[in-house]
Amino acid sequence: MDCKSCGDTNQKGSKFCKTCGYLLGFSCPECKKEINPDSKFCILCGASISREELDSTSQVEPSESVTQHSTTSDVSGPKKSYWSLFGKIMLGFLVVFVVLLVIGIIAGEEESANHVEELSTQKLYRQYNPIDEDTDAYQGSSAPTPDPTPEGLNYFAQGEQYLWHDQDYVKAAKSFTEYINLNQNTAKLFMGYQRLGDSYHHLAEHLGHDKRIDSNIILGHFQQALQNYDKAIELNPENPDVYGQRGHVHRKLGQYQNAIKDYDKHIELDPSHPWPHHYKGMTYRDIGQFEVAIQNWERYIELRLIESADWIESEQSANAYTNIGLAYVELGQNQKAIEHFDKALTINPNYLGAIRGKEKAAANLN
């Protein structure tokens, strides 16, 4: 028998719904036959059914309704507890997810802050451009690209990208280290050590522009550069470029005589290369030997003009004439100094070093 209230099926003869307790049927007071509780007349004998009789009948067996309803409640109780447990588990998962999300956001913000600081430091380095220096002079090395193992070659090319283009010197050092490890028995192993030296060399230059960096860290990178240049020279003593690079590091460390020896070796192996004359002139200027410094800068200018007559119009040309002019000021030869400052100002009328140098030389003449 289906309950009209909740729709559940009950056993035949049940007076109350086992689910909701709704009255399913009762007996006619006249003929005692079971009839629908919604009927106003018995369909068998036609007796009238009053609400009082219906209510009294529904109260005759309250125990059946209560018993059946309580049984239903007992069945639904475990279902409710299952849902409650499921809800608690889901809530736990949600709490764990939120905690992990917060931790991830905090870690991401810290990494982003560190990355921004690193980029800011690199930006400072790239903007630094001193008048009397050209620290990238040896970047265009004439040494051939090595061709050992394919994997090693990939590391070498990767290191070149990091070193010269990205200016990520730490990654460059790692790449060249991998190249060295993979090519211990190849003839071009010296190239790995040379580039590893270049990586530490430029890393030291890079960090040197940040006053927050401990000077001992910078010194350590210069020393690592020297060690790798030494190894490169040991493997291939006829490679001129590595002498120039090592000489540059010696000069940065104040080891001027060692720097001069390396520049001289570079000139011996490659007489047409202008840059070692430039740096040799800078080294003699640093130790106060201005006459020899001028001689080297003049030779540097000659070789640059041999390479290209258009070089005379470049900023490097103005810088070279300014360096010579300043050396003449130090020697007390102010008229010669003014002549060289004028050459620099012909190339660039706004060249600040030449303007100030000429003012100083003119004041000395007066």
Domain boundaries along the sequence of the chain: 1-60, 78-127, 150-365
* 321-to-129, 208, 359 alpha-carbon distances in Å: 18, 28, 15
| Residue burial 267-282, b: 16+ Cβ < 10 Å; e: rest | bebbeebbbbbbbbbb
Position of tokens 């030296």? 197
Tens digits of residue pLDDT in 242-280:
999 999 999 999 999 999 999 999 999 999 999 999 999
Q: Which of 29-33, 232-236, 307-311, 321-325 has the lowest mean pLDDT?
A: 29-33
Could you tell me the two tokens for 262? 């390396």
Q: What is the pLDDT of residues 288-337, one digit of tens each?
A: 999 999 999 999 999 999 999 999 999 999 999 999 999 999 999 999 99
Q: Which range among 140-144, 314-318, 352-356 shows the weakest confidence by mean pLDDT?
A: 140-144
Given a cut of 80, is residue 121 above it in pLDDT? no
Q: In whole angstroms, what is the distance from residue 144 CA to residue 186 CA?
A: 14
Return the top range by mean pLDDT from 81-85, 160-164, 181-185. Answer: 160-164
* Helical spans, DSSP H, in the chain: 51-58, 62-127, 150-160, 169-182, 189-208, 215-235, 240-252, 256-269, 275-286, 290-307, 315-330, 334-347, 352-365
Task: Please give the residue that has the higher pLDDT: either 100 or 361.
Answer: 361
Confidence of residue 185 (pLDDT cuts 50, 70, 90): confident
The whole-number pLDDT of residue 256 equals 98
Tabulate helix, strand, coil % of the chain (nearest 5).
Answer: 70, 5, 30
Kindly report which listed range (49-53, 70-74, 283-287) carries the lowest average pLDDT score: 70-74
Beta bridge partners, 26, equal 35
Residue 339, pLDDT score: 97
116: its two tokens: 């921004």
Instruction: Return d(Cα 151, Cα 159) in angstroms, integer.
Output: 12
What confidence score (pLDDT) does residue 366 get?
A: 83
Global pTM reads 0.61
Contact 285, 258 (CB under 8 A): no
pLDDT at 69 over 80: no
Question: Are residues 190 and 236 in contact, defined by beta-carbon separation less than 8 angstroms?
Answer: yes
- AA identity, residue 349: P
> Does the pLDDT of residue 56 top 70, yes or no?
no
Strand partners, 96: none
Its CATH class, for the domain covering 150-365, is: mainly alpha
Mean pLDDT of 11-27: 64
Q: Is the pLDDT of residue 140 over 50?
A: no
Q: Residue 320 contacts by C-beta under 8 Å, 6 or more apart in sequence?
A: 278, 297, 300, 301, 304
